[in-house]
Structure 1
Amino acid sequence: MKSPLLLPRLPRLAWMLLLIGGLIWINAARVRDSAQFGLPGQRPPSPQIGFPAPDFALSDLAGQTVRLADLRGQPLVLNFWATWCPPCRAEMPALQSIALSTASRGVRVVGINQAEDAAQVTGFMQTLGLDFPVLLDRDAAVSQLYRVRSLPTTFFVDRDGVIREIVIGGPMSQALLASKIESLLK
């Protein structure tokens, strides 16, 4: 004779597996939807071409806070760099030249230095004769926000604050910078 307790166990096990599977499915759908709709607690998508550049606030070399939103309305070249990075150092003269030659057209070249102090960056800028604005990303939080994985990384942002080009690595030549800026201005 079969025990009356063995028959209910099979359905109970099936219900338990169904419940666990349902919870997994609901959780997966919640994570997918929250990432898609930007719900709190979810990381924003990686900055991409055709999407708005994420806003940030950083100090410049004089200690003044600069927000990306304050620069809207003008095309931007955001160059993430560091003094210890050889390709970054190599492309600095081209960035300086482009900053000077395109300023009259409203283009702003902004360097975003990764995790170095103001004195070190100021000395570097003076040694190379650079005078375009540099912001200090002391804790590399903005670099993380922009998903910068290698230096230099340059974002070309249009007047509306939309990323139009991303160049990873370098050094970029003045001709390459000029062509990217021309496409920004169209």
Structure 2
Amino acid sequence: MSHRFNSWTLVFFLVLVLGTGWLWASQVPANALPQARPAEPAVGHPAPPLVLPTLDGSTFDLERLRGTPVVLNFWATWCGPCQRELPALQAAAERYEGLVVFAGVDQGEEPEVVRPYVEQMGLTFVIPMDRDHEAAHRYNVMGLPTTFFIDQYGVIRHIWTGEMNSIILAEAVAQILP
């Protein structure tokens, strides 16, 4: 019986050593593991810097607007929900003129396409042109329209993805008014 006990003891220790060696060899370095990326920009966090050419040839610089609340709407002329919400955005831009800056960041289109559309819709707020989608990527825009409501300190207070009506828009703007 003692011989049998020694054989099982030997097998046990052999499995233990081989198993430990296998676990050690199969470890993945911590820097090779996928890292969870925070869903930024996020409510309560600073809005990422944003500098884009505008449809009228000037430059839109979000940092220069510090001290003024901003409604930053990502849209495109081909987007049905964007088309339906633009009148509400225009009305709000007129209502809050001098208190809130409204900016409609066009996604990936040529000025020759956007300009006639903006004129036809009667849009008077600034239209930054994100032709390479870099701003949309930086803002983690997953669908159009997406709107960021940024307070006077440059902090995002509300994010809305999808079409807004005038009531939703007014409630969100109220969150960023000083």
Sort the TM-score into its range (normalised by shorter chain): 0.7 to 0.9
CA shift for structure 1 position 73 = 1.5
Unaligned runs of 5+ in 2: 1-13
Are 2:120 and 1:127 equivalent residues in the alignment?
A: yes
Query: Who is 1:159 aligned against?
Result: 152
Q: 2-side partners of 1:15 and 1:44: how far apart? A: 35
1:70 paired residue among 64, 68, 76: 64
Distance 1:15 1:163, change over 3 A: same
Q: How does 1:28-47 map to 2 (within 5 A)?
A: 32=35, 45-47=39-41
Greater share of helix: 1
Deviation at 1:75, TM superposition (A): 0.5
Q: Distance in 2 between matches of 1:156 and 1:28?
A: 35
CA distance in 1 between partners of 2:65 and 2:22 (Å): 55
Equivalent residue, structure 2, for 1:178: 170
Q: Which residue of 2 aligns with 1:90?
A: 84
Q: Paired residue for 1:100, among 82, 94, 104?
A: 94
Structure 1 residue 19 and structure 2 residue 24: aligned? yes
Corresponding position: 1:149 with 2:142: yes
For residue 17 of structure 1, what is the amino acid of its counterpart? W
TM-score, length-scaled by structure 2: 0.81
- 1:144, CA displacement in angstroms? 1.5
SS in 1 for 2:128: strand
How many angstroms apart in 1 are the aligned matches of 2:15 and 2:174? 70
Partner of 1:6: none
Matched residue count? 169
RMSD: 2.7
Percent identical pairs in the alignment equals 41
Alignment of 1:49-60 (within 5 A): 49-60=43-54
Structure 2 CA distance, aligned partners of 1:20 and 1:157?
50
Q: Which amino acid aligns with 2:60?
A: V
Per the TM alignment, residue 14 of structure 1 is displaced from its structure 2 partner at its CA by 4.7
**Runs (4+) of structure 1 moved beyond 3 Å?**
9-16, 28-32
Q: CA deviation at 1:28?
A: 5.3
**Deviations 1:107-150, CA, capped at 9 Å, x for gaps:** 00000001101121111111111110001110111112212111
How far is 1:20 from its partner?
2.8
Structure 2 distance, partners of 1:160, 1:95, is: 22
